[in-house]
Amino acid sequence: MPSLLRELGEGATNFFERAGRITRFGLQLAALTPTSLLRVRPVIEQVYNTGALSLVIIMTCGLFVGMVLGLQGYEMLNRVGSEEYLGTAAALSLLKELGPVVTALLFAGRAGTALAAEIGLMRATDQIAAMEIMAVDPMRRVVVPRFLGGVIAMPLLTATFIAIGMFGAQLIGVQFFGIDQGSFWSQIRGTVELDDVAEGLIKGAVFGVACSLIAVYEGYNAVPTAEGVGRATTRTVVVSAVVTLVLDYLLTALML
């Protein structure tokens, strides 16, 4: 019994310690951001790495999520005899919920792991130590551009995901089930407000900051062994997914 209590206490302390260290790391990144933005080149490269390279998977998944929404939504709305609301249902679910969340999960899986593994491997192969010896700040040189790349890419990926998802829903609703195209779009326009779009993009931006921060933190603080890098990569995905869903709840409650 005392050992159980001790483990619980230790677990809680560890959790708070990690939360505190991630926060401190994030503040450090934020402090370095303005000067790093002056050197555009590395940031552009990282927008390419995290954004442009994730585009294919984001678009494919967006299309399929939209098409599933079309099928499921039609099936459900058909039971209550209001199929014309399919567009509204799909648009609101994509904008407010599925778009940002699924994009963040995919982003953590595709870009977050790549960031963590890259930085972790730099740590394991002593590249980061070498930089420190040469008086090059690895935070400024390696970590901040990768973080900024993710932060810039995520809202754009979210918007792309939602737009493609709408196309997918339209494909199923209009082309497959034969809902009138005009009424599909006019229903959407009549009910979706600018606030809903803003909610989706804000969520995307917040998830982008969170997932990028977790990825670079885990990579930078990886145990410098092959196993350590592997564990950092795994933890990036797990922590990102949990944090995304918790933040999603908080943001939804906040913006209701």
Partner 1 sequence: MRPSRTIDISTGLFVLLGFAAILFLVTQITNREFTLNSTSYRLRAEFENIGGLKAGAPVSMAGVTVGRVEDIQYDQKLYKAVVTLRLDGHYDEIPNDSDASILTSGLLGGQYVGISPGGSEEYFKDGDQVTFVQDAVVLENLISKYLFNTATKQPDAPAPEAAPATQE
What are the residues binding partner 1 (CB under 8 A)? 44-45, 47-48, 51-52, 55, 91, 95, 153, 155-157, 159-160, 162-164, 166, 185, 188-194, 196-197, 200-201
Q: How far is the CB of 65 from partner 1 (least distance, A)?
A: 15
Report the nearest approach of partner 1 to the CB of residue 221 (Å): 26
180 or 227, CB closer to partner 1? Answer: 180
By beta-carbon proximity to partner 1, the closer residue of 76 and 84 is 84
Compute the distance between CA of residue 117 and CA of residue 215 in angstroms, rounded to an integer: 9
Min. distance of Cβ 109 from partner 1 in angstroms? 18
Instruction: Return the number of the residue (21 or 189) whose C-beta is nearest partner 1.
Output: 189
Shortest CB 52 distance to partner 1, Å: 4
Q: Which is nearer to partner 1, 52 or 136 (CB)?
A: 52
Of 164 and 210, which CB lies nearer to partner 1 in the complex structure? 164
C-alpha distances (whole Å) from 156 to each of 2, 79, 153, 203 are 51, 36, 5, 12
To partner 1, the closest distance from the beta carbon of 17 in angstroms equals 37
